[in-house]
């Protein structure tokens, strides 16, 4: 279906506060994370007791890329005011998307420096930063504030095998029970992680789990993976489908009722995704434009990455009253929108790009409209949140006219952009402010 919303004068969007903009991550995003663990200890045994230490963990791997985390700890007796971590990756391994640190490189030598909010560490305190990357190399030549911090790699244990595909039973309106056959491991299986729709919902020591608080008449997908006594996780099981009993939410009305959810509204206005439920809006709207993504360097990019997928919500802030876990695959507004759609499956969510403040990049982007459309599609369909979005909204203010900035694109630019987007996204949801 094709949806459109009325023209507006930009009052639905405004520049975000500068203190928020400084935290915007600029790198491109990577793909689906299929976690496994492999810790490399990088604090040498001979290192002085009062020197800071660092350790590296490769937390996830999905074939074409990986996710890793550095932990910096102040093991001394005096406060640490700033830190700089250096290491080398072999050729072909590199950082693509960092967070919680300023990361740069000179060839294969990589440098990470603290951000303003995580540079001061009291004695015994630690902080972490992470990144997505490509390649399969491990770091060497580690230095923390100029002091070598590298030790021998810890030998890797064999991760556990995949457990059997869960069997689903005892399905009610609000619950379903899963059971699965055991995984095997050379050191022994410690427990199992249960994921619902890609998000971990439980860790159990047995091989059964009953998932409560589900929505009636709703489809769910479950996978399970094992963790061994060395804290390594194995591959996922096959996916098991479950549909709860009862009626689903009302079907979408033929009339589209669309609203904008402003990304930065969770800060000073304290308007959370949860408030769509408590206000009664979730029962009335059919479409949400999640506003706004940025248009920069010819691409669609996330706006405030902390708000979008980084912020850890408390139980009071969450749609379902369940607090985020720090180690879950997705946080922020996008995870809350996922929860909203599970409770109100009639709602469609579109990622809106541009708006009053971020339309200045459209003119450059449409010079290569197919490439721009591909970048938008890759971002919207990123496997970490592909199930959250049903389409894209393009809010160019204004082609061949002046908004916050002035544009001198040729008259056919908007048509070329929409044609490229239609070719990339297909015949499903595509909207534009015109």
Residue 420 falls within a domain, yes or no?
A: yes
Nearest to 219 by CA among 200, 237, 239, 193: 239
Q: How far apart are the first and last CA of the chain?
A: 18
Please provide the average confidence, as pLDDT, over all residues in the chain. 83
pLDDT tens-digit readout, 7-32? 344 434 444 333 333 333 323 333 33
pTM, to two decimals: 0.46
Does residue 23 sit in the same domain as residue 55? no
- Containing structural domain, residue 122: 39-148
The stretch 228-252 carries a mean pLDDT of 80
Does residue 224 sit in the same domain as residue 357? no
Q: Domain boundary residue among 235, 266, 292?
A: 235
Residue 4 falls within a domain, yes or no?
A: no
Does residue 50 sit in the same domain as residue 171? no
Does residue 25 sit in the same domain as residue 47? no
Q: Domain boundary residue among 235, 265, 282?
A: 235
Does residue 263 sit in the same domain as residue 336? yes
Q: Judge whether 273 and 319 are in contact, CB under 8 Å.
A: yes
For 51, counting Cβ atoms within 10 Å of its Cβ (0-12 exposed, 13-18 middle, 19+ buried), the class is middle
Q: Domain boundary residue among 205, 235, 265?
A: 235
CATH of the domain at 347: 3.20.20.80
For 250, counting Cβ atoms within 10 Å of its Cβ (0-12 exposed, 13-18 middle, 19+ buried), the class is exposed
Does residue 105 sit in the same domain as residue 200? no
Does residue 98 sit in the same domain as residue 200? no
Residue 108 falls within a domain, yes or no?
A: yes
CATH of the domain at 182: 2.60.40.10
Domain count, the chain: 3
Instruction: Cite the active site residues.
Output: 397
Nearest to 175 by CA among 220, 211, 215, 199: 211
pLDDT, position 349: 95
Has residue 353 got a pLDDT over 50?
yes
The DSSP line for 126-186 is: EEEEEEEEESS---EEEEETTEE---PPPPPPPPPPPPPPPEEE---SS-EEEE-PPP--S
Residue percentage of the chain with pLDDT more than 70:
84
Does residue 301 sit in the same domain as residue 368? yes
Does residue 416 sit in the same domain as residue 360? yes
Residue 2 falls within a domain, yes or no?
A: no
pLDDT tens-digit readout, 79-134? 889 999 999 999 989 999 999 999 999 999 999 999 999 999 888 888 999 999 99
Does residue 97 sit in the same domain as residue 224? no
Does residue 72 sit in the same domain as residue 90? yes
pLDDT tens-digit readout, 61-70? 776 788 899 9
Does residue 183 sit in the same domain as residue 87? no
């Amino acid at each position: 279906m094709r949806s459109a919303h009325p023209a507006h004068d930009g009052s639905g969007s405004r520049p975000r506060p500068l203190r928020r903009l400084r935290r915007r991550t600029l790198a491109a995003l990577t793909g689906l994370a299929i976690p496994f663990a492999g810790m490399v200890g990088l604090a040498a045994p001979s290192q002085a007791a009062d020197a800071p230490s660092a350790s590296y963990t490769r937390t996830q791997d999905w074939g074409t890329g990986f996710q890793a985390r550095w932990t910096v700890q102040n093991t001394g007796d005096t406060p640490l005011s700033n830190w700089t971590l250096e290491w080398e990756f072999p050729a072909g391994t590199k950082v693509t998307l960092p967070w919680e640190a300023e990361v740069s490189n000179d060839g294969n030598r990589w440098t990470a420096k603290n951000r303003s909010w995580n540079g001061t560490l009291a004695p015994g305190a630690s902080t972490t930063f992470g990144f997505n990357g490509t390649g399969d190399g491990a770091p060497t030549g580690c230095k923390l504030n100029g002091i070598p911090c590298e030790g021998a790699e810890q030998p890797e244990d064999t991760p556990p095998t995949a457990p059997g595909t869960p069997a689903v039973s005892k399905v009610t309106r609000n619950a379903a029970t899963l059971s699965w056959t055991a995984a095997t491991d050379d050191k022994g299986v410690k427990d199992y992680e249960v994921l619902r729709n890609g998000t971990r919902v439980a860790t159990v020591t047995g091989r059964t789990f009953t998932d409560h608080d589900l929505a009636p008449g709703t489809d769910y997908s479950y996978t399970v993976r094992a963790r061994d006594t060395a804290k390594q996780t194995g591959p996922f099981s096959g996916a098991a489908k479950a549909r709860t009993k009862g009626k689903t939410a009302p079907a979408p009305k033929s009339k589209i009722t669309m609203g904008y959810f402003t990304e930065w509204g969770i800060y000073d206005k304290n308007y959370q995704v949860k408030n769509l439920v408590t206000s009664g809006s979730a029962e009335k709207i059919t479409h949400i434009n999640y506003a706004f993504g940025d248009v920069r360097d010819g691409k669609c990019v996330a706006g405030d990455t902390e708000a979008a997928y980084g912020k850890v919500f408390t139980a009071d802030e969450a749609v379902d009253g369940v607090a985020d876990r720090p180690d879950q695959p997705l946080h922020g507004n996008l995870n809350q929108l996922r929860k909203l759609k599970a409770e109100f499956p009639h709602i469609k969510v579109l990622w809106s790009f541009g708006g009053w403040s971020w339309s200045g990049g459209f003119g450059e982007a449409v010079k290569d409209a197919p490439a721009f459309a591909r970048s938008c599609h890759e971002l919207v369909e990123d496997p970490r949140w592909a199930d959250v979005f049903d389409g894209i909204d393009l809010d160019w203010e204004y082609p061949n006219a002046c908004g916050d900035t002035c544009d001198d694109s040729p008259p056919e630019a908007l048509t070329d952009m929409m044609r490229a987007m239609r070719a990339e996204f297909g015949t499903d949801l595509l909207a534009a402010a015109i």
